[in-house]
Chains A and B, each alone.
Chain A
């Protein structure tokens, strides 16, 4: 087929250089492969990436005050940071309040300022309600209504809120606020919540991952060493929970663990606890840990099992024959070989646990809630931007873990059943 031309290059039978023909063929093959993937990629971009991106945009954007207080916004634009509000500022504010009352937008404007400075929402909605009675001189009218209107911190908060783009929601998400002089400080002790929740979410996930590991290891080892037929049969016991509806499993655990549940009844029948000493294992952190461990355990067993299956038993026997104790054999020979499986399982369980929502919502009570539940809470309360900021932080954490998983394990090695 190929011929050698006068200058020594290989060509195809129709005379094109072989190198170019090969490149063209490879390009066509690449394009064909890509065209097969393109419809799905487009679908995922439109139905998944775009919506999430759009939602995350809200974490830095909130025009509740900026759009409804144009006059004050204009005043802020011409007067630099730190200018004491003069009569013109109060007049602009009065103008905005009258418009807010007419358009019923004081609530949303107040909500926005309240994110930056707590307890200003009621100040704004209450003032808007009597906005029509405001008359010059405006400064005196405002101060007569509420002395807080003379407070520099309130004006600083309004200045901050008058820009639609803001980092304030990330400040809130990290329990921080802007002081009256613009510096960033921690919020008072009794309103700190989100750092604590992030730490708690990661800690609980770690605890669940560790428990899963200790439960999964012996089971995976047993499955990997049993004869095939028996192992397949036992595998069903692992896969059954995997295939059973999450809500069914959660229901079952409630039935088992609640105060008047099966476990407590059995313990009382056995005389281990008294009727008034029923254990509280549901609607608290313990409930979240127990049920999530059960739900996520198969995700740990399966990768461990597939790694352990490939470990030849002859290594352990060799170690024994060379005089190692069974503990040494396990620690020095077996365990190191299972590390890839441990890494894969632990990362997967941890990633799934960090973003968990349903189980904590149903069995977590007050102290078993995770960060996802608070994202839901703020969605419910129409605090879109705050929910988006919390989502962005959670998503960032999950993506880092996902990247790590891809580096260490490879997404191709994700196995289901």
Chain B
């Protein structure tokens, strides 16, 4: 970008310094995330660049930490890699199990949060909604209340969920259901925020147009409203999924040994002894987040195009 011609020399210097400062802040934002990628290919169990890595010697790099992700926890990792080995990895490898758990909990929590959140957002965006501000504040609060308070509350509640109405119906700790409910709660604010934002740009006259053409409310919803707000719903769902996929405190308090998720395993690894295997997981997760980010960005642009909002 060319600088305006009316600037004094001192202001020119400042403009260049300003851009240098911005560049440094961008480096601060992104470098820490990218640094783990090359380090995860380290052939040595260190967390810094070895001489060999710096001189781009192939011997300095290896896939061994990615291999440990597969073999850790297996019954017989040293065997020949045939079908039996892969089934062993699928059923017993710690990180594979953690990935399955993360996906299961994330999937159901996302479904629950997205369905409930979208329906509620439809109500919230109606002008006649009573107590709108208060209800909105309540629904957003799981994002604001410190997670440790939510987790401790759920810890007691889950130990005897029916106790509050004087019955006993088992407990929700160390169950998938409990974790799904907790993660859905944490994901709901994100769905509400994105879907209401999409609905605020929604042209309400389209509903009247649809009705005047003879569509009942159901048809109007599925044929008119849904296609237009779908990008917003999917963004909200992705936010909810990432919230669950990245969540560790509720898992620490509520999950049993069978529900260990990826963040939970990482937590263990970071607290005890960070092995470079953690960096391999981190690298894979960075790739996941880049994919999700790209998806959301594409959706946002599509949504703006659909709604006729010119991108700013």
Interface status of B6 (Cβ within 8 A of chain A): yes
Q: How far is the CB of A31 from chain B (nearest CB, A)?
A: 9
Contacts known (A222-B19, A417-B296); A245 close to B289, Cβ less than 8 A: yes
**CB < 8 Å neighbour of B116 from A39, A49, A362:** A39
Contacts known (A52-B150, A244-B33, A247-B267); A35 close to B123, Cβ less than 8 A: yes
**CB < 8 Å neighbour of B137 from A34, A326, A356, A402:** A402
Q: How far is the CB of B78 from chain A (nearest CB, A)?
A: 28
Q: Are B123 and A33 interface neighbours, CB within 8 A?
A: yes
Q: How far is the CB of A153 from chain B (nearest CB, A)?
A: 32
Contacts known (A48-B142, A355-B145); A251 close to B33, Cβ less than 8 A: no
Q: Are B188 and A44 interface neighbours, CB within 8 A?
A: yes
Kindly identify, within residues 294 to 323 of chain A, every residue whose CB is under 8 Å from any CB belonging to chain B: 294, 297-298, 309, 320
Q: Are B146 and A372 interface neighbours, CB within 8 A?
A: yes
Residues of A within 8 A of B74 (CB): none
Contacts known (A41-B139, A238-B29, A240-B30); A54 close to B282, Cβ less than 8 A: no
Residues 247-261 of chain A, each 1 if its beta carbon lies under 8 Å from chain B, else 0: 111111111101011
Docked complex Cα distance between A237 and B33 (Å) = 11
Identify the closest chain A residue to B182 (Cβ). Answer: A47
Residues 132-176 of chain B, each 1 if its beta carbon lies under 8 Å from chain A, else 0: 010111111110111111101111111000001000000000000
Residues of A within 8 A of B18 (CB): 218, 222
Interface status of A398 (Cβ within 8 A of chain B): yes
Interface status of A416 (Cβ within 8 A of chain B): yes
Q: Are B47 and A255 interface neighbours, CB within 8 A?
A: yes
Residues of B within 8 A of A164 (CB): none
Interface status of A226 (Cβ within 8 A of chain B): yes
Identify the closest chain B residue to A253 (Cβ). Answer: B32
Residues of B within 8 A of A265 (CB): 48-49
**CB < 8 Å neighbour of B148 from A48, A355, A414:** A355
Q: Are A247 and B152 interface neighbours, CB within 8 A?
A: no
Residues of B within 8 A of A238 (CB): 29
Q: How far is the CB of A229 from chain B (nearest CB, A)?
A: 9
Interface status of A175 (Cβ within 8 A of chain B): no
Docked complex Cα distance between A227 and B311 (Å) = 11
Q: Which of A85-93, A97-105, A118-126, A387-395 contacts B (4 or more CB under 8 A)?
A: A387-395
Interface status of A108 (Cβ within 8 A of chain B): no
Interface status of A333 (Cβ within 8 A of chain B): no
Interface status of B26 (Cβ within 8 A of chain A): yes
A37, A356, A388 pick with most chain B CB within 10 angstroms: A37
Q: Are B32 and A256 interface neighbours, CB within 8 A?
A: yes
Interface status of A236 (Cβ within 8 A of chain B): yes
Q: How far is the CB of B15 from chain A (nearest CB, A)?
A: 9
Residues 179-190 of chain B, each 1 if its beta carbon lies under 8 Å from chain A, else 0: 001101100101
Q: Are B286 and A41 interface neighbours, CB within 8 A?
A: no
**CB < 8 Å neighbour of B35 from A52, A255, A326:** A255
Q: Which of B58-66, B93-101, B207-215, B240-248 contacts A (4 or more CB under 8 A)?
A: B240-248
Docked complex Cα distance between A53 and B122 (Å) = 28
Which applies to chain A's interface (DSSP): helix, strand, loop or mixed? helix
Q: Are A44 and B32 interface neighbours, CB within 8 A?
A: no
Contacts known (A245-B246, A246-B246, A357-B147); A262 close to B126, Cβ less than 8 A: no
Contacts known (A39-B116, A40-B119, A244-B285); A391 close to B157, Cβ less than 8 A: no
Residues of A within 8 A of B263 (CB): 245-247
Docked complex Cα distance between A137 and B293 (Å) = 77
Q: Are B119 and A262 interface neighbours, CB within 8 A?
A: no
Q: Are A247 and B266 interface neighbours, CB within 8 A?
A: yes
Interface status of A10 (Cβ within 8 A of chain B): no
Q: Are B26 and A256 interface neighbours, CB within 8 A?
A: no
Interface status of B129 (Cβ within 8 A of chain A): yes
Docked complex Cα distance between A262 and B193 (Å) = 39
Q: Are A243 and B292 interface neighbours, CB within 8 A?
A: yes
Interface status of A143 (Cβ within 8 A of chain B): no
Interface status of A351 (Cβ within 8 A of chain B): yes
Docked complex Cα distance between A412 and B48 (Å) = 45
Q: Are B33 and A375 interface neighbours, CB within 8 A?
A: no
Q: Are A395 and B149 interface neighbours, CB within 8 A?
A: yes
Q: How far is the CB of B307 from chain A (nearest CB, A)?
A: 16
Residues of A within 8 A of B83 (CB): none
Kindly identify, within residues 215 to 239 of chain B, every residue whose CB is under 8 Å from any CB belonging to chain A: 235, 239
**CB < 8 Å neighbour of B293 from A41, A49, A236, A398:** A236
Residues of A within 8 A of B197 (CB): 415
Identify the closest chain B residue to A45 (Cβ). Answer: B138
Kindly identify, within residues 273 to 312 of chain B, every residue whose CB is under 8 Å from any CB belonging to chain A: 274, 278-279, 281-282, 285-286, 289-290, 292-293, 296-297, 300, 311-312
A43, A239, A249 pick with most chain B CB within 10 angstroms: A43
Contacts known (A246-B246, A411-B140); A33 close to B145, Cβ less than 8 A: no
Kindly identify, within residues 361 to 417 of chain A, every residue whose CB is under 8 Å from any CB belonging to chain B: 362, 372, 375-376, 379, 384, 387-388, 391, 394-395, 398, 402, 406, 411-412, 414-417
Q: Are B246 and A218 interface neighbours, CB within 8 A?
A: no
Contacts known (A54-B153, A355-B148); A252 close to B35, Cβ less than 8 A: yes
Interface status of A55 (Cβ within 8 A of chain B): yes
Interface status of A26 (Cβ within 8 A of chain B): yes
Q: Are A256 and B35 interface neighbours, CB within 8 A?
A: yes
Interface status of B124 (Cβ within 8 A of chain A): yes
Q: Are A218 and B22 interface neighbours, CB within 8 A?
A: yes
Kindly identify, within residues 41 to 83 of chain A, every residue whose CB is under 8 Å from any CB belonging to chain B: 41, 43-44, 47-56, 58
Q: Are B28 and A391 interface neighbours, CB within 8 A?
A: no
Contacts known (A394-B146, A395-B145, A411-B136); A234 close to B270, Cβ less than 8 A: no
Q: Are B246 and A247 interface neighbours, CB within 8 A?
A: yes
Q: Are B130 and A33 interface neighbours, CB within 8 A?
A: yes
**CB < 8 Å neighbour of A362 from B11, B158, B239, B271:** B271
Docked complex Cα distance between A355 and B151 (Å) = 12
Q: Are B248 and A247 interface neighbours, CB within 8 A?
A: yes
Residues 323-343 of chain A, each 1 if its beta carbon lies under 8 Å from chain B, else 0: 000100000000000000000
Docked complex Cα distance between A240 and B290 (Å) = 7
Q: Are A30 and B128 interface neighbours, CB within 8 A?
A: yes
Interface status of A29 (Cβ within 8 A of chain B): yes
Residues of B within 8 A of A351 (CB): 144
Kindly identify, within residues 338 to 360 of chain A, every residue whose CB is under 8 Å from any CB belonging to chain B: 351-352, 354-358
Known pairs A228-B311, A254-B274, A379-B253; list 12 more (Cβ under 8 Å).
A33-B123, A39-B116, A51-B158, A58-B156, A219-B22, A243-B290, A247-B248, A255-B47, A352-B144, A362-B267, A388-B152, A416-B193
Q: List 6 A-B contacts (CB under 8 A).
A: A36-B123, A37-B139, A246-B248, A248-B33, A253-B32, A391-B149
